[in-house]
């Protein structure tokens, strides 16, 4: 019967491990259609305004990072309450869990447990309707045309993701000039391996060991050094003009109580020469985008530097994407504030920052209603779950970052996008040069 196919009959949560070897939450949700599984990621560079990733705190087990409390919350509180609910009604399922938690940040039951159930329910809803996951998400959002995103490959690492002295956290390459997603993968992987050879020749074999997200961490310490390497690799691979550059300084990590940004925060000896005011950071970014083929800057300033974000958006926003990650935390309230204050012009979409699929969709709808771009993102602690690939297509976010074209928990998101492109066939649309402005309304 159709009702049985969409009715939740069982939910079971368990503790599994992410790509960094830390515990995380996985949920199996069963309907008459079968069992549907989802696992949640975990960030290392996290914003203070993110929904609560609940951990056990028992230092005798997993250094306090266990999630058995969340597993218990899912199995004993959420599961009984969700039985009999219709998985095709995503908003009702998510709202029920929000009400059961009853806090502003999902701190009672844990956003990590709530999200696992929400993702599994979304998969089950797609199956009950007999449509692919990306199409189900598109329908939930009222999006008439799913679009394949431009991959944003994180190929050089710094910040808290690497042991070098480089303060900014990520430097990315985006094949906007590709004709389709599979060609974008070819362009990206060729440039990635070209970059590997360049770094190895300059700095030795140890410099091409990869980090959490598959990027390299050469012994460099300035924005310019990283951007020079990328420019050289793109040219050597033959893709100048077709591959652009994105940056994620993750500036909250080197923002100090003095109100300054310390670009030498990882240096063994720090004489204070790397300190910059918010205005000086904006000037630095203006110089960088004038010199290099950069198209976006994510978190150029700290998570509560609203004035600094407004300054850089006023200065650069007409030509470049200024993305809010820690500033926004995929939270509609913070997105609305940013729209009103013109603090940025793009959203970084991380589902575990907000905790449900319905709220993630609302965040994207709000951002796009303001004419913003949206970048779908993984986390540094990932799982084999490839949900965000379908999410990026279903919401037509225009671009997606899932790390370098290396490490299976990164590449499996890109591989899923290849499958989706093949499934769509002649109907497949690749964002390409239009990566920044894609509406999700008819």
Query: Which residues line the annotated binding site for Mg(2+)?
Result: 248, 298, 325
- Residue 155 contacts residue 402 (beta carbons within 8 Å): no
Q: Single out the catalytic residue among 244, 350, 368, 413.
A: 350
Residue 305 CA, chain-centre distance (Å), reads 21
Q: Which residues are annotated as a binding site?
A: 161, 170, 248, 298, 325, 377-380, 401
Please state, in angstroms and rounded to a whole number, the distance separating the CA atoms of residues 286 and 374.
Answer: 22
Phi, psi of 196 (to 5 degrees): -60, -45
Contact between 66 and 55 under an 8 Å Cβ cutoff? The reply is yes
Rounded Cα–Cα distance for residues 39 and 297 (Å) = 29
Q: Is 92 in the active site?
A: no
213 is catalytic: yes
Out of 50, 213, 253, 382, which one is annotated catalytic? 213
Q: Minimal CA–CA distance to 40: which of 353, 295, 286?
A: 353
Q: Which residues contact 69 (CB under 8 A, 6 or more apart)?
A: 54, 55, 56, 110
What Cα–Cα distance (Å) separates residue 75 from each residue in 14, 29, 371? Answer: 9, 11, 41
Cβ atoms of residues 328 and 338 within 8 Å: yes
User: Do 146 and 134 touch, CB atoms closer than 8 A?
Assistant: yes
Measured CA to CA, the distance from residue 140 to residue 292 in angstroms comes to 39
Q: How far is CA 229 from the centre of its chain?
A: 24
User: Cα–Cα distance between 384 and 396 in angstroms, integer?
Assistant: 22
- 3-class state of residue 144 by DSSP: coil
**Collapsed DSSP state (helix, strand, coil) of residue 70:** helix
Contact (CB, 8 A) for 93 and 87: yes
List, by residue number, the catalytic residues.
213, 350
């Amino acid at each position: 019967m159709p009702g049985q196919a969409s009715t939740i009959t069982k939910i079971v949560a368990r503790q599994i491990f992410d790509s960094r070897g830390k515990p995380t939450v996985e949920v199996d949700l069963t309907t008459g259609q079968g069992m549907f599984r989802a696992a949640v990621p975990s960030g290392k560079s996290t914003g203070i305004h993110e929904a609560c990733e609940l951990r056990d705190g028992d230092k005798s087990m997993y250094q306090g990072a266990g999630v058995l409390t969340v597993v218990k919350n899912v199995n004993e509180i959420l599961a009984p309450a969700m039985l009999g609910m219709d998985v095709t009604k995503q908003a009702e399922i998510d709202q029920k869990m929000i009400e059961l938690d009853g806090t502003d940040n999902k701190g009672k039951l844990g956003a990590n447990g709530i999200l696992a159930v929400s993702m599994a329910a979304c998969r089950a809803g797609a199956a009950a309707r007999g449509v692919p996951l990306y199409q189900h998400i598109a329908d939930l959002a009222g999006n008439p045309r799913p679009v394949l995103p431009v991959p944003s490959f994180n190929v050089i690492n710094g910040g808290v993701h690497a042991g070098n002295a480089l303060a900014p956290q990520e430097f990315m390459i985006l094949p906007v000039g590709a004709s389709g997603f599979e060609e974008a993968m070819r362009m990206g992987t060729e440039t990635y391996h070209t970059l590997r050879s360049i770094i190895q020749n300059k700095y030795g074999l140890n410099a091409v060991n990869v980090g959490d997200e598959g990027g390299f961490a050469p012994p460099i310490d300035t924005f310019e050094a990283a951007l020079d390497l990328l420019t050289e690799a793109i040219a050597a691979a033959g893709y100048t003009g077709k591959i652009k550059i994105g940056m994620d300084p993750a500036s909250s990590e080197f923002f100090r109580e003095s109100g300054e940004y310390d670009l030498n925060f990882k240096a063994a000896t720090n004489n204070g020469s790397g300190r910059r005011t918010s205005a000086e950071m904006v000037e630095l970014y203006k110089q960088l985008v004038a010199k290099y083929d950069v198209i976006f800057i994510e978190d150029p300033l700290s998570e509560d530097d609203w004035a600094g974000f407004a300054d850089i958006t006023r200065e650069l926003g007409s030509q470049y994407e200024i993305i809010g990650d820690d500033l926004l935390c995929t939270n509609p309230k913070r997105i609305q504030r940013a729209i009103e204050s013109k603090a940025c012009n793009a959203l970084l979409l991380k589902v575990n920052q907000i905790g449900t699929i319905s709220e993630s969709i609302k965040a994207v709808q709000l951002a796009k209603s303001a004419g913003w771009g949206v970048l779908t993102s993984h986390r540094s602690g990932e799982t084999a779950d490839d949900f965000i690939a379908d999410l990026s297509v279903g919401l037509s976010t225009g671009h997606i970052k899932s790390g370098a074209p290396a490490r299976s928990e990164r590449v499996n998101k890109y591989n899923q996008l290849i499958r989706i492109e093949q499934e769509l066939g002649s109907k497949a649309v690749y964002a390409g040069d239009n990566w920044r402005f894609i509406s999700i309304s008819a």
